[in-house]
Amino acid sequence: MTTSKSAVTRVPGFRAVGVACGLKQSGNPDLALILANRACTAAAVFTTNAFKAAPVLYDLALMERTGGKLQAVLINAGNANAVTGSQGLADAEQMARWTESACQLPVDTVFVMSTGVIGQKMPMDKIATGILSVADSIFTEAGQQGHAAAEAIMTTDLVPKEAFVQTTVEGRPVHLGGMAKGSGMIHPNLATMLAVVVTDAAIEPLALEAALKQAVGCTFNRISVDGDTSTNDTVLVLASGQAGNPLISMQSVQSPLFETFTSALTEVCAVLAKAVARDGEGATKLVEITVAGAATEAEAEAAAKTVATSPLMKTALFGNDPNWGRALAAIGRSGATVDPNRTSLWLGDFQLVADGEPLPFDAVAAHDWLAQTDEVKLIANLGVGRARATVWTCDLSYKYVEINAEYHT
């Protein structure tokens, strides 16, 4: 992987821009447009939350209607357009129509994403002005600055999140560029996670969907900041086919062709997902939790996620405390099959438990190591099988409480 700055516009055939249209009180950029120079194959995964935001409902119907042929995505930060009733749905549709019109695109080729305040009507006058502005500037020099788009979708994210990978599919160079925003929020929103990956690969819709599901399953679905699932979470991938590689189809799902593409897509998603976890609200550390020796992968994932969402474990890590009892206790309530007498635990290079017995270890050295590192690995072996899973999270700090308690509606 090379530098990832302006990742989405480093993929040939894609333009992107970010502008300020007044949705964020800070006056920072808050509207992004990504535009392909041709119709793309698209696939998307959405939040499983029963209260889906208006843009999610719009996009679900759009994907159904078009079979996933899209050319652009419009993303705003500052207002989530969630729990906004029928007016919210009409507004989401209007945002797509206006973008199509401003960019001279056919109807039903624009995907819409929103993140920000819940339960407030979208200020459509600002959106209208913003859409004219992104459509104006995207065909200028500014349209090559993917970085500006990545910045425009940030809410309380501290850094923009971008990832770029170049690979080769049967001799043809193929590029993938992604951007994401994570677990920051403009109060009173949720920790909405949005991501877009664009690629010039030639791939059929069903194969793209299969690749996306596989990539998301072990990346975006394996991160947690605080266990809350947003009404707006969405991951979209657009594939233009401009790379001219042999078409990746469902027939090739077992082939190196598909594997090469999926592993590159997984790499992009992994970089973005870990960046989201690392930049979790108030986080001081990226925490990687691996559960091995589990009966099934689902149990390994459940156990790892239970540790990843345990406030007791996360506050201990914030306090640089090698508090392994909290990790074991979280695993113990996760529902995963464990053998208490065969469970072992490591924190970084320190083995803390071997076959259920606590080991003597240098607690001061462990504390000092935790205090110095911003990346912690915790590994548990349940001693009952061969399955494993890794999840990523962050610690729970005073800052998390501040961010989520001190901004008022």
From 64, 141, 349, 406, residue interacting with its own copies (rule: CB under 8 A): 406
The span from the CA of 161 to the CA of 279, in Å, is: 9
Counted residue by residue, the chain has a size of 409
Considering only 2-10, 165-173, 266-274, 396-404, which stretch makes contact with its own copies by CB under 8 A? Answer: 396-404
Assess 22 for contact with its own copies (CB under 8 A): no
**3-class DSSP state of 103:** coil
Assess 46 for contact with its own copies (CB under 8 A): no
Assess 405 for contact with its own copies (CB under 8 A): yes
From 66, 129, 249, 404, residue interacting with its own copies (rule: CB under 8 A): 404
Closest alpha carbon to 195 in 256, 265, 120, 102:
265
For the record, the structure tokens of 283 come out as 């986080």
Assess 296 for contact with its own copies (CB under 8 A): no
Q: What is the per-residue binding string for its own copies in 337-366, x denoting contact by CB under 8 A?
A: xx-x--x---------x--xxx----x---
The answer to whether the Cα torsion of 240, 267, 161, 186 is positive or negative is positive
Beginning with the edge strand found earlier in the chain, give each strand of the sheet holding 357-358 in spatial order. 357-358, 350-354, 344-347, 375-381, 286-294, 387-394
From 12, 106, 227, 244, residue interacting with its own copies (rule: CB under 8 A): 227
For the record, the structure tokens of 11 come out as 């993929």
Assess 23 for contact with its own copies (CB under 8 A): no
The span from the CA of 191 to the CA of 185, in Å, is: 6
From 48, 104, 254, 372, residue interacting with its own copies (rule: CB under 8 A): 48
State phi, psi for 248 to the nearest 5 degrees. Answer: -85, 115
Number of alpha helices (DSSP H) and beta strands (DSSP E) in the chain: 11, 14
Cβ closer to its own copies: 255 or 373?
373
Q: What is the per-residue binding string for its own copies in 311-340, x denoting contact by CB under 8 A?
A: xx--xx-xxxxxxxxx-xxxxxx--xxx-x
DSSP class of residue 269?
H
Judged by CB under 8 A, the chain residues 77 through 96 that form the site for its own copies are: 82-85
Judged by CB under 8 A, the chain residues 177 through 216 that form the site for its own copies are: 187-191
Considering only 48-56, 138-146, 234-242, 265-273, which stretch makes contact with its own copies by CB under 8 A? Answer: 48-56
Bridge partner list, 387: 294
Could you count the other beta carbons within 10 Å of the beta carbon of residue 349? Answer: 9
Q: How far does Cα 390 stand from its chain's mean position?
A: 16
Considering only 38-46, 117-125, 214-222, 247-255, which stretch makes contact with its own copies by CB under 8 A? Answer: 117-125
Cβ closer to its own copies: 210 or 331?
331
Cβ closer to its own copies: 267 or 395?
395
Q: What share of the chain is helix, strand, coil (3-state, %, to 5)?
A: 35, 25, 35
From 199, 214, 221, 231, residue interacting with its own copies (rule: CB under 8 A): 231
The span from the CA of 55 to the CA of 211, in Å, is: 23
For the record, the structure tokens of 347 come out as 């924190």
Closest alpha carbon to 18 in 167, 179, 158, 163:
179
Cβ closer to its own copies: 66 or 337?
337
Active site residue 192: yes
Assess 16 for contact with its own copies (CB under 8 A): no
Judged by CB under 8 A, the chain residues 118 through 137 that form the site for its own copies are: 118-120
Of 41, 192, 199, 234, catalytic:
192
**What's the CA angle centered on 373, arms 406 and 344, to 5 degrees?**
105
Could you count the other beta carbons within 10 Å of the beta carbon of residue 372? Answer: 8
Q: Tokens 């996009």 sit at which residue?
A: 59
CB of 207 to its own copies, least distance (A): 30
CB of 107 to its own copies, least distance (A): 27
CB of 357 to its own copies, least distance (A): 5
The span from the CA of 246 to the CA of 250, in Å, is: 13
Which residues have a catalytic role annotated? 192
**Residues at the interface with its own copies (CB under 8 A):** 48-52, 82-85, 117-120, 187-191, 226-231, 309-312, 315-316, 318-326, 328-333, 336-338, 340, 343, 353, 356-358, 363, 367, 396-398, 400-402, 404-409
